[in-house]
Structures are given as structure tokens and as C-alpha cells.
């Protein structure tokens, strides 16, 4: 497994990371999947305090507690569950971030986080206060780096402009190329991109046509356009997952792809695809088959 630096943090992450949200709630079943990921060379694991009301962090902590020195551990903050568990509210205040990190550390059974991320954000937020919270946590040694998970360019730019953030997590795939316009801006701020949704809800896997038939479209693609595009991609690419991963990793601004998995078989499938060779010429040609959309809202 190759590794890339996360922004200019001096920290390196495996090109494929495990997005832990899809892990089963059973600790032992989840541990088998995490162990399989590690056996395949994955060392980057990402969760959030929002997932399953914190229970996902507990599962991840159990699975990784004996491997802490060998892995890169990330979680997120900002979405606060209501006391009755009926939903959550947004809270990017310094007091919430600095309090919540300690709860995440307990659930994850660790003394520090490699990456702590603001799990959203708006232009109405006091982002400078959030950045101050992250900087304070770095000084305390509770986190090694921080970043933001957002698809709002104006929020991303403002957050990066006032901080030394290492990363921006964005939904990005062959079927959602909106982030490409902002890669240079992110790089210019000294940060890098971590992608999620790179397999587009299974539309870029062996189950592509089955998923298309069950969908109502995806992003700017109507169902009809999606059927046409997936058919062309499936015909063109020997392995759709391999093409999807290589398409994202061709960008030097991308540090890692977070891939979800709910079984050991899914880990094996993703890693088999990752190790397939895709030529630069093939990646260039595939651009003619897919849309090149841009964000219409939240622009700078």
C-alpha cells in the first residue's frame, strides 16, 4: 500500500482508508473487518462521534486498541445529539469541540487523535473560534492534525484561510467531479483532499447496472443518463472499481480515498481493484464519457 502526506502535516496516510460508518455494531464482527483491512495494508481509519450516536467510535476503539501505534486514526465533531436522541444540532463552538474530543478519546480507547475534523460548517459559524479550539488541542497533544469535512467551497476557503488545517474531506468520484475546480485552492492553502463516496453508492462497482435500475439518478445524472453512462463505462473499463479508484488517485491533491466496508469480502474486493494498473491514457479517455459539473451554490 502506498502512502501520501496529509497536507503539509508531516503525517502519512495509506492511499486507501477505511470509512468505518458501515462497520457492523457487533464488536467482534467489526474487528474481523478491521483486521482484514490492516492485513491488506490499510492503516487509515475514519469515524465520527455522530455515527450511531458514538457507538461506532466504541466499535472502532475496540478493534484498534492493540494496534494504535501502527494506524492513523481520525474522527469528526460538530453534530451534537439531542438529549432524547431524536436528532442533532450543529455546534462548532470551542467549548463543545474541546469537551467532545475527550469523550471521543474515551470511546476510541486512545490518548490522542491523528486527525480531528469539523464535521460540516456554514458561513454563519464562528470558524475562527473552531480553528482556535483545534489549535489548542494540538498544543495539548490531544490531536496531531485537524481538518474539515465539507462540500461548500466558501466554507472550505474561509476555514483554510484562517488555519493550518491538513485536510478537506469531500465527496468525489467519476460521477461527481464538482470538487476538481477547488483542488488547486485547497493545495494552495497547504491542505490535501480526502475523498468519500468514490464508488458512488455502488454505481461504480460490479453491481453497477443493478444499482442503476434501483436508482432515480445520481447527482446531475437522470436515471436515463446514468444508465447510458454506466453502460459505456462498464464496457470501457475491465474493472469498474479499479477505474474509479485510479481516477481519483491520479490527482496529486488527493491524499486518500475512504472506502466503506461491511464485510471482509468488500475489503478484499476494494484492495484487489486498488492493485490493478490503469494507464494515464485510459484515465484521460474516460473523461469523455462523464460529466464535468461544478458546484452551483456556496461559491466563493
Task: List the domains of the chain with CATH numbers.
Answer: 3-201+249-277 (3.20.20.100)
Q: How far apart are CA 118 and CA 79, in angstroms?
A: 9
Phi, psi for residue 203 in degrees, rounded to 5: -75, -15
8 with 258: CB under 8 angstroms? no
pLDDT of residue 291: 96
| pLDDT values of the chain reduced to their tens digit, one per residue, 300 residues | 999 999 999 999 999 999 999 999 999 999 999 999 999 999 999 999 999 999 999 999 999 999 999 999 999 999 887 877 788 788 999 999 999 999 999 999 999 999 999 999 999 999 999 999 999 999 999 999 999 999 999 999 999 999 999 999 999 999 999 999 999 999 999 999 999 999 999 999 988 989 999 999 999 999 999 999 999 998 888 899 999 999 999 999 999 999 999 999 999 999 999 999 999 999 999 999 999 999 999 998
pTM for this model (two decimals): 0.95
CA 43 to chain centre: 14
Q: Which residues are catalytic?
A: 51
Q: How far apart are CA 163 and CA 181, in angstroms?
A: 21
Amino acid at each position: 500500500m502506498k502512502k501520501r502526506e496529509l497536507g503539509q502535516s508531516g503525517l502519512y496516510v495509506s492511499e486507501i482508508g477505511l470509512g468505518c460508518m458501515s462497520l457492523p455494531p457487533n464488536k467482534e464482527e467489526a474487528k474481523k473487518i478491521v483486521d482484514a483491512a490492516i492485513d491488506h495494508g490499510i492503516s487509515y481509519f475514519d469515524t465520527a462521534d455522530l455515527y450511531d450516536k458514538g457507538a461506532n467510535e466504541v466499535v472502532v476503539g475496540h478493534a484498534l486498541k492493540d494496534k494504535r501505534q501502527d494506524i492513523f486514526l481520525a474522527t469528526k465533531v460538530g453534530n451534537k445529539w439531542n438529549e432524547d436522541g431524536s436528532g442533532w444540532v450543529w455546534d462548532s463552538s470551542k467549548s463543545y469541540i474541546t469537551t467532545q474530543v475527550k469523550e471521543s478519546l474515551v470511546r476510541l480507547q486512545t490518548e490522542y487523535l491523528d486527525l480531528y475534523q469539523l464535521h460540516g460548517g456554514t458561513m454563519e459559524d464562528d470558524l475562527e473560534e473552531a480553528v482556535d479550539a483545534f489549535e489548542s488541542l494540538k498544543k495539548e497533544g490531544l490531536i496531531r492534525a485537524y481538518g474539515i469535512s465539507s462540500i461548500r467551497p466558501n466554507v472550505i476557503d474561509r476555514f483554510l484561510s484562517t488555519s493550518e488545517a491538513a485536510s478537506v474531506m469531500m465527496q468525489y468520484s467519476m460521477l461527481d467531479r464538482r470538487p476538481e475546480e477547488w483542488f488547486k485552492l485547497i493545495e494552495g492553502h497547504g491542505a490535501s483532499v480526502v475523498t468519500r463516496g468514490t464508488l458512488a453508492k455502488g454505481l461504480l462497482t460490479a453491481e453497477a447496472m443493478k444499482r442503476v435500475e434501483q436508482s432515480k439518478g445520481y447527482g446531475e445524472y437522470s436515471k436515463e443518463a446514468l444508465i447510458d453512462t454506466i453502460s459505456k463505462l462498464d464496457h470501457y473499463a475491465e474493472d469498474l472499481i479499479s477505474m474509479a479508484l485510479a481516477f481519483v488517485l491520479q490527482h496529486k491533491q488527493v491524499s486518500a480515498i475512504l472506502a466503506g466496508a461491511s464485510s471482509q469480502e468488500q475489503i478484499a474486493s476494494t484492495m484487489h481493484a486498488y492493485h490493478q494498473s490503469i494507464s494515464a491514457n485510459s484515465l484521460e479517455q474516460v473523461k469523455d464519457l462523464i460529466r464535468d459539473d461544478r458546484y452551483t451554490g456556496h461559491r466563493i
